[in-house]
Amino acid sequence: MNNQHGSLLMISLHGYVAGSPELGKPDTGGQVVFVLELAKRFAQLGYRVDVMTRQFEDQPAEDIINENLRILRVPFGGREFIRKEDMHDWYGDFVTNALAMIHYHNIHYDVINTHYWDAGVSGQLIAEELQIPHVHTPHSLGWWKQHEMEGASDEEMAGYRFEERIQKEFVLYRNCDHLIATTEQQVELIVEQYQLPKEHISMIPPGIDESRFTPATPDKVAAARQKHEMRETDIYVVGRAAENKGYDLIIEALPSLLKLQPDARLVLAAGANSDSDIALLNQWKQIAADLGVADAISWRGYVADEDLADHYRAPGIFALPSRYEPFGMTAVEAMACATPTVVTIHGGLFEQIEFGRHALVADPKRPEEFAAMLNMPMQYPWMRETLAVEGARFARRVFGWTGIARRTLQVFEHFKGRYDDLHTDELAS
């Protein structure tokens, strides 16, 4: 797979996948950004890349992003949007239609790289048919998500079909050629819970767009604060409306924080699209009212993509209060923008940072503890300045997308050609 002739198939089935994805729409967030940014860097490095996804609603069958990169959409499951949790029964149709497309157009790929278990199960069947290597990136693990949702109602748990998902992950991880986990925590869980040898797994974290997420001059920060109605005593939280994001946990930390910082305010941008999202928002607003902190919260909706970096720069602090977060891309982006950041211990990012230098960490399930960490950069200018400078430096060096892409390509190169003998035998017969 040299730079002129390497050809990659990346599969990411759920959500709205496009050259400029509509972030905040259902199932359209960190994973979609991850796949597209990697694909763009692979293309920049000279590889021909197809990103394959599901075609639904009125989406075109193909988007040409540049000479080396296109998005191919395969129709299955009808025209309507389908949640990733409800897509289980359609994977056979996807595999059939994808293989028909590949054979009809006589497309050759060197490696398949799939993202999330839905694409992984399908991609394994495609890889076996085409006799090419398959490298899978799980993003999240069924076992961990089930473990974190213990205590949820039977009705809520039923929608996730965890038993089926975990069984399929278990088989997938054995059948694919290699796994790329995004955190050390994921590696350990796969080894322990899925009983996979560690040498079958590489750990490569997600990356950030180094050109977009940067520190800004004081004038630009002041302008961003004015434009987006934020201030230095604001704590910014952004993401989809979902239970695991822990918005209720940071609301529960507010009473303790307000004792230390009476001017503190939570700016909460939770993208809400569905009736269930709105029901969650209403629950969180009720928690705030019950705790007497409703006046200390500014509720924000969807943030336009071009405004993301300024939203990270404008507040005094960025917080990631998730109950469960496989990685926490938003926190890395905020750090790259030089905003002091407090992250959850229930995720992968905290293992890679140096506490007190790059960021602060706390358990959001312990409200007083989380409040104390949010207070630190507000209380002490030296702490704020250290986190701003060192956090941005760390984020850029460790999580720039081009470096992440090069590391990923090294894995692909290792497996390229693994099945060449099988192709030779087929031609001979």
Give the tens place of pLDDT for each residue, 44-69: 999 999 999 999 999 999 999 999 99
Q: If you average pLDDT over residues 381-409, what whole number do you get?
A: 93
What token pair was written down for 163? 């038993």
pLDDT band for position 424 (cuts 50, 70, 90): low
Q: What is the DSSP letter of 9?
A: E
Least confident of 113-127, 313-327, 333-347: 313-327
Tell me what pLDDT residue 121 has: 95
Does the pLDDT at position 213 exceed 50? yes
The answer to whether the CB of 364 falls within 8 A of the CB of 344 is yes
Tell me what pLDDT residue 214 has: 96
136 vs 152: CA distance, rounded Å? 29
Helix axes 381-399, 367-379, angle to 10 degrees: 100
13 vs 11: CA distance, rounded Å? 6
Q: What is the pLDDT of residues 279-306, one digit of tens each?
A: 999 999 999 999 999 999 999 987 888 8
Bigger pLDDT: 182 vs 386? 386
364 vs 343: CA distance, rounded Å? 9
> Cα 166–145–126 angle (5° rounding)?
40
Averaged pLDDT of the chain? 91
3-state secondary structure of 237: strand
DSSP letters along 301-353, please?
Answer: ----GGGHHHHHHSSSEEE---S-BSS-HHHHHHHHTT--EEEESSBSGGGTS
CB atoms within 10 A of CB 340: 25
Tell me what pLDDT residue 44 has: 94
What token pair was written down for 303? 């943030």
What token pair was written down for 399? 């999580």
Nearest residue to 300 (alpha-carbon basis) of 342, 332, 267: 267
pLDDT band for position 99 (cuts 50, 70, 90): very high
Mind listing the domains of the chain with CATH numbers? 7-207+402-428 (3.40.50.2000), 218-399 (3.40.50.2000)
pLDDT band for position 3 (cuts 50, 70, 90): very low
Q: What is the pLDDT of residues 117-139, one digit of tens each?
A: 999 999 999 999 999 999 999 99
